Amino acid sequence: MRINIITIFPDFFTSPLDVSLVGKARDSGTLDVRLFDLREHGRGVHRQVDDAPFGGGAGMVMMVQPLAEALEPLADTHRVLFTPGGTPLDQETLDRWATLEDLTLVCGRYEGIDERVAEHFIDEEISIGDYVLLGGEVAALVAIEGVTRLLTGVVGNPTSVETESFREGLLEEPHYTRPAEFRGWGVPEVLRSGDHARIEAWREEERLRRTRERRPDLLDE
């Protein structure tokens, strides 16, 4: 899979893309990431990529021309704009992106982006949650990590990808490993019983309990 990133901060991505399973996926050729510096399409000696908003108001708006020039050669890819006003990112969206050969991630900055970019050069607008960041760079990294772990051969045990939170619409149950006692804190007896039917029933109940407590919205859907 190839992922193109359009940003005014290409350096932002260097170490996160070099380490962990993302770094491994790139080393093995499973993932090809290409960084595009938006400033190369900036206007004038200062390579300006933003301007004051028509109609007045605070903040700057990313201009249509640099983004148009950066996105035109990528017209045959799926183009995502990260913006706090987008549709919330979810596992279904990541699953869909992981099936693509070419994905382009556009990182918004400043107060916003000239709407004509979204209208003519973007396939979908995505947010990563109900809070405001300085720009879309962190969101693009979230997407890359979420997609990379779905690519064939990246995660050692494919079952852990299939049974995780959100796939079954529930949060995961609590997990424990050795030692069975630490500072007097034990492990639920059922997990050491060897009774696999009881263990599965306990896990299912814990998934439901957690979801009711932390994410009741997931049970309403």
Rounded least distance, CB 128 to ligand 6GU, Å: 4
On whether the CB atoms of residues 81 and 106 are closer than 8 A, the answer is yes
> Could you tell me the smallest distance in angstroms from the CB atom of residue 9 to ligand 6GU?
13
- Residue 3: Cβ within 10 Å count: 24
Write the binding mask 137 to 176 for ligand 6GU: x where contact by CB under 6 A, - elsewhere.
--x-------------------------------------
Stretch that binds ligand 6GU, among 17-25, 46-54, 58-66, 82-90 (CB under 6 A): 82-90
83 binds ligand 6GU (CB under 6 A): yes
User: Smallest distance from the beta carbon of 84 to ligand 6GU, in angstroms?
Assistant: 4
Token readout for 84 is 């706090």
The contact mask relative to ligand 6GU for 40-59 (x = CB under 6 A, - = no) is --------------------
- Sheet of 2-7: strand order equals 32-37, 2-7, 102-107, 78-88, 124-127
- Which amino acid, one-letter code, is at 84? P
- Could you tell me where the DSSP H helices lie in the chain? 14-18, 20-28, 64-71, 91-98, 115-121, 137-148, 158-162, 196-214, 216-220
70 or 140: CB nearest ligand 6GU:
140
Q: Which stretch binds ligand 6GU (CB under 6 A): 76-84, 92-100, 159-167, 212-220?
A: 76-84
Evaluate the CA torsion angle 59, 63, 64, 66 in order and state its sign: negative
**60 near ligand 6GU (CB under 6 A):** no
Q: How far apart are CA 45 and CA 47, in angstroms?
A: 5
Q: Which residues bind ligand 6GU (CB under 6 A)?
A: 82-84, 108, 127-129, 131-133, 135-136, 139
